[in-house]
Structure 1
Amino acid sequence: MNYKLSIVAVVGAFSALSLLPNPAAAQSSDCSYPIGAVVSLSGSMAAIGGAIANAGQLAVEHMNEAGGLLGCKAEYRLRDDQGLPNVGIDAAKSLVAVEGAEVILGAIQSGVTMPILTSVAVPENVTQISCCSSAPSFTELARKGGTDGYWFRTLPTVRPQGFVMSELAAERGYSKVAVIYVNSDYGLAMAEAFEEAHLAGGGEVKMVAYNQEQASYRAEVSQALQGEPDALFLVAFPADGATAMREWISFGGTQNILLSNALRSKEFIEAVGEKYLTNAVGIDNAQFDGPSVDAFNSSWKDRYGEAPEGPGLHTMYDAAAVALLAAQASGTYEGTAIRDTIRKITGPGGEVINPGPEGFARAIEALKQGKSITYVGATGPIEFDQFGDVSGPYLLWGIAEDGELTNIETWSVERVNALMADK
């Protein structure tokens, strides 16, 4: 028996209040399709997961305001993966087998996303789109045919981030760098990319892995401090990262700090103390400038009362939007059809569709008229390669004396590609 009736988003932490339907979005039809979310409501990603999940909620609301998904109401539902692979797998299995998911969005952590992909999405012919999992292992799996084409992600892989951060370290004169990294696909990939680039440039690297959710990281910090490094590159998630950062500071470690994208979080800054981070610089995925990005930013501020800041917001909206529009264009909730439609609604040549209810309404009307569409999203133009990957610019960010996040510099796609040539 085929139970597949819905689209599922496997993402980070979120508030249960977001499950309440939007009264203004009610459709004339009695039918509905739940849009699920397997989210880190608890665990190391909870500090950033709520906002990421809100971005998915916003896309669902916009689709409903535009007239609904295939004439039915989309409903956003939430599960907690607790940052644990087994919990994420169980949630995804339930949403596919019981709820009838044809699309899975997520998860945030690569270590949760990969087992969902291999244990649930691929075996069940369900399309999976991640907002936030950037480990290169997904590309390698796709290259070997292990995803059957059901894998997509709306942010670039983590490998270029390590090379960009090595360039930044060299610019700042950081020769000897200690790298404390979370022992996961994400952490290892970024740390190894940094090490490769920094050693090639004549620098020294001290690599120290840590396991998540420990009460203390004194041993790891003490190991990283050996040799008196010029700087620390911390590749971590907010909760564990704050613990390690406080211990680094208390042990007299340098305040020449490099930070990974997951630490672009006010919760991390508040937990550490902004006065210790004013010389820190971090990396994150950047957005293109243009009307599509402006449309998302404006919609986010109208809905949530503040500017969209932090990792994963733009990419999560786009992951949800791509899933919704591909389902609309395919005319069915069948996972393979959605897989085969995604590149058709993101490739060039169609009527340009931007984020927001007006954009989605234009997409629905254009598709009714037999026209093709090109979704240009919250992150700008989206074009998936044969492995389901995208490329994009990077943002270098810092922390002001008042604790506010600041933008330092943006690396264009062309600059990143030039850096990564032949890497």
Structure 2
Amino acid sequence: MKNVKTAVGGAMLLAAAAWSAPALAQGSCAEPVKLGGVLALTGAQGTIGKVIADAGKLAVDQVNKAGGVKGCQVEFVVRDDTSQPSVGLDAARYLVDVSKVQAIVGLVGSGTALQVVNSVSVPNKIPTVACCAVTPALTRMAEEGKTGGYFFRTIPTARSMALAHAQAAMDKGYKNTVIMYINNDFGNGTAPDAKTALEKLGGKVAGVVPYAENQPSYRAEVQKALALNPDSLILIGLSADGTTILRDWFSLGGTQNVILHNTMRSPDVIKNVGERFLGKAVGVDNGQASGPSADAFNKDFQEAYGRPAVGPGLHTMYDATAITLLAMQAAAKLDGVSIRDALRAVQDPTGVEVQAGVEGLKKGLDALKAGRKIRYVGATGAFRFDRNGDVTGPMLTWKLNGSEIVTEKVISLEQMNALGTKAGF
């Protein structure tokens, strides 16, 4: 069932959507288990954020069909951060103070994640599992003991993206690459590492050009980049801004040798830029695992939403949601400390393997109810949170085959580790 609520957060009107299954009325529980989601449904990241939200909703729907958490149905309360960190902070506060959620997932933007973790997750002891925030600042916070262990993410950090950008430029033989990047926590956490990695791998960086988000035109920044006479472009930005930059880049005669961030791995971006301009383009993204669990998610997403599971954040959002709900089932009680500790417990390498999909999640929920250990292997494959709540994983490069987004190359975890060593990371 879907109903929409609204509330005022700060000076802005924020929309909240709550999803749960009709089985709530069957009622072994007076109230549903509540999971919060802070997601960019509008604004610069809205195009991809709405689809990412669907991936989280799919996991909630499947857990509800599998019997729910502790025999209760799950209500997924999602609030729109409008792609702005300050609004995301208000959204998270609302979820905790008003909706009384027991955990939070989502967090598309790094700036939003930093504010939410620092000001909401830690002081309120709310486990928070990000699908998409890649800033290394969150790792530093964890290393300094500032997250209290309440922050986790299912996506590799920005450093992995930076290495993949550099390797893509080397694979293509580009000799003089300009890097354009969004001037926020996300871009500032990725662009310097991309420059370092490319130079350490033997490439040359013509220059680095920052840009401010949410501008109607980027002609001035593009002209500055073109004045460096690059033979290629690495573009680190969001889907909306990236679309505008690419239009300006091509209209001003920029090369079609472009390397795009995972935020632009979207059919909407391809359509709005024009596939005829992107025939030589490649992009980077997290490497999706193959195998039955990944296949199950891809199939279920296609059936649920009538579109392929291709795009940034879909697999990682599903896993962020699914593993949080499994942890809530495993927790001794539904409080922050218990859920936080259970997030690692449901990754036990000696446990029963649990995969994506209704039957897979039911297997996990039933095993936990019976007191057995489980190992969640999700849409992104097997992963484990390290002491900072981070994960590592393979990366990929993608390209266009006509209008279809296809994988060009997979960079294995072992290869990623070797690249990191060569780059001095």
- TM-score relative to the length of structure 2: 0.92
Q: Does the 8 Å CA contact 1:18/1:57 hold for their aligned counterparts?
A: no
Deviation of residue 306 (structure 1)? 3.0
CA separation in 2, counterparts of 1:87 and 1:147?
21
SS in 1 for 2:125: coil
CA separation in 2, counterparts of 1:26 and 1:276?
53
Aligned counterparts, 1:148-297, within 5 A: 148-200=148-200, 201-297=202-298
Deviation of residue 20 (structure 1)? 5.1
Aligned counterparts, 1:356-367, within 5 A: 356-367=357-368
Deviation of residue 105 (structure 1)? 0.9
Q: Does the 8 Å CA contact 1:26/1:64 hold for their aligned counterparts?
A: no
Q: Which residue of 1 aligns with 2:5?
A: none
Q: Percent identity?
A: 43
Aligned counterparts, 1:12-411, within 5 A: 19=18, 21-23=20-22, 27-29=26-28, 30-200=30-200, 201-401=202-402, 403-411=403-411
Aligned AA for 2:96? V
CA separation in 1, counterparts of 2:130 and 2:75?
19
CA gap 1:416/1:27 in 2 versus in 1, 3 angstroms: farther
Deviation of residue 61 (structure 1)? 0.6
Q: Cα RMSD between the aligned structures? A: 1.6
CA gap 1:52/1:202 in 2 versus in 1, 3 angstroms: closer
Extract unaligned runs of 5+ from structure 1. 1-15
Q: Does the 8 Å CA contact 1:70/1:331 hold for their aligned counterparts?
A: no
Q: Which residue of 1 aligns with 2:10?
A: none
Aligned AA for 1:370? G
SS in 2 for 1:346: coil
Aligned AA for 1:94? Y
CA deviations over 1:298-350 (Å, ceiling 9, x no partner): 22122122321101111001000111000100132201111111111013111
CA separation in 1, counterparts of 2:123 and 2:176?
46
Q: Which residue of 2 aligns with 1:418?
A: 418
Q: Does the 8 Å CA contact 1:292/1:354 hold for their aligned counterparts?
A: yes
CA gap 1:259/1:32 in 2 versus in 1, 3 angstroms: same
CA deviations over 1:97-133 (Å, ceiling 9, x no partner): 1121221112101011110100100111111100001
Moved more, 81-90 or 285-294: 285-294
Q: Which residue of 2 aligns with 1:12?
A: none
CA separation in 2, counterparts of 1:39 and 1:160?
23
SS in 1 for 2:124: coil
CA gap 1:299/1:382 in 2 versus in 1, 3 angstroms: same
- TM-score relative to the length of structure 1: 0.93
Extract unaligned runs of 5+ from structure 2. 1-14
Q: Does the 8 Å CA contact 1:18/1:54 hold for their aligned counterparts?
A: no
Deviation of residue 82 (structure 1)? 0.6
* Aligned residue pair count: 407
Deviation of residue 34 (structure 1)? 2.9
CA deviations over 1:244-297 (Å, ceiling 9, x no partner): 111111111111101011110111111111100010000001122111111211
Deviation of residue 175 (structure 1)? 1.5
CA gap 1:116/1:308 in 2 versus in 1, 3 angstroms: same
Q: Does the 8 Å CA contact 1:26/1:73 hold for their aligned counterparts?
A: no
Aligned AA for 2:384? E
Aligned AA for 2:373? S
CA separation in 2, counterparts of 1:25 and 1:231?
55
Aligned AA for 1:259? L
CA gap 1:204/1:301 in 2 versus in 1, 3 angstroms: closer
Aligned AA for 2:46? A
CA separation in 1, counterparts of 2:53 and 2:366?
28
